Amino acid sequence: MDQPRGRARSAGMSLYSAAGSRKYLTTAERRRFFRALRALPPRERLFFMVAAWSGGRISEVLALTADSIDLDNGTAALETLKRRRRGIVRHVPIPPTVLRQLARTYRLSLLQRDAILARQRLWPWSRVTAWRRIKAVMVAAGIHGSCATAKGLRHTFGVTAFEAGVPPHLVQRWLGHASLRTTAIYGEVVGPEELRIASRMWRR
């Protein structure tokens, strides 16, 4: 039996664990994840929606403030916290429906007019709290294993972007990767996701 191609890389730069377990959600799991969010309070639900649709690291999403959300341009400004140098910000497009919910739930327009309130974090949780809440949602959605993590949401964003035909350089920018080589792992999906990517070529 062939091993997943991601196994050829180190576990840290692969879509598969050292044991061969998948680190990203399949399309069916992703749908169950979003369905599970419906049972959450609005602010908690929005945290997961922003995380899922931005591809941001949990610490980057937790750092978002009202000032980070550009309602006119439809983007969230995520500071890339993994780099040694601070102040590297990437502007990631967010679905209009999510932006509207953010604006309504947090009254962003009002917060952005106040210099102090505009800089307060939207989700004043610790990373541990956020991690626990993500695990709880995954369990509620019936998702287990290496993909049922905060990093799993980030990997899912990358896989979904590649599957949708987003150019690699944009995926690299949105995820805040220093190298396109890191972003390239999202083209290594297997199974149904790989077939959907191939089907775009067959239709040409």
Dist. CA 25–CA 42, nearest whole Å: 23
In a domain, 204, yes or no: no
pLDDT of residue 86: 73
Distance CA 54, CA 137 (A): 18
Residue 137: inside a domain, yes or no?
yes
User: What is each CA distance from 66 to 32, 47, 73, 178, in whole angstroms?
Assistant: 29, 13, 14, 27
Contacting residues for 53 by C-beta, under 8 A, at least 6 apart: 94, 95, 98, 157
| Structure-derived torsion over alpha carbons of residues 4, 8, 11, 12, reported in degrees to the nearest 10 | -120
Tokens of 153: 């949401």
CA 124 centroid distance within chain: 19
pLDDT, residue 158, reads 94
Of residues 118 and 3, the one with the higher pLDDT is 118
Whether 202 is covered by a domain: the verdict is no
pLDDT tens digit sequence for 52-88: 999 999 999 999 999 999 999 999 999 987 766 677 8
Examine residue 16 and state whether it is found in any structural domain, yes or no: yes
Identify whether 203 is part of a domain.
no
Q: Tell me what pLDDT residue 83 has.
A: 62
For the chain, the domain total comes to: 1
pLDDT tens readout for residues 110-129: 999 999 999 999 999 999 99
The answer to the question of residue 117 being in a domain is yes
Residue-range definition of the domain harbouring residue 98? 5-197
Task: Give how far Cα 169 sits from Cα of 25, 130, 156, 158, 172, Å.
Answer: 22, 29, 17, 12, 5
When pLDDT is averaged across residues 137-165 and rounded to a whole number, the result is 94
Whether the CB-CB separation of 158 and 171 falls below 8 Å is answered with yes
Give the domain CATH number at 116. Answer: 1.10.443.10
89-107 burial, b at 16+ Cβ within 10 Å, e below that, comes to ebebebeeebbebbbeebe
Q: Assess whether pLDDT exceeds 60 at residue 46.
A: yes
At 194, the pLDDT band (50, 70, 90 cuts) reads low
pTM: 0.86
pLDDT at residue 133, as a whole number:
97
In a domain, 145, yes or no: yes
> How does pLDDT run across 4-27, given as a tens digit for each residue?
444 444 445 788 888 888 999 999
d(CA 26, CA 148): 11
Residue 42 lies in a domain: yes
Element (H, E) at 77: strand 75-79
- Which residues, 6 or more positions from 166, have their beta carbon under 8 angstroms from its beta carbon? none
Which residues touch 116 (CB under 8 Å, ≥6 apart)? none
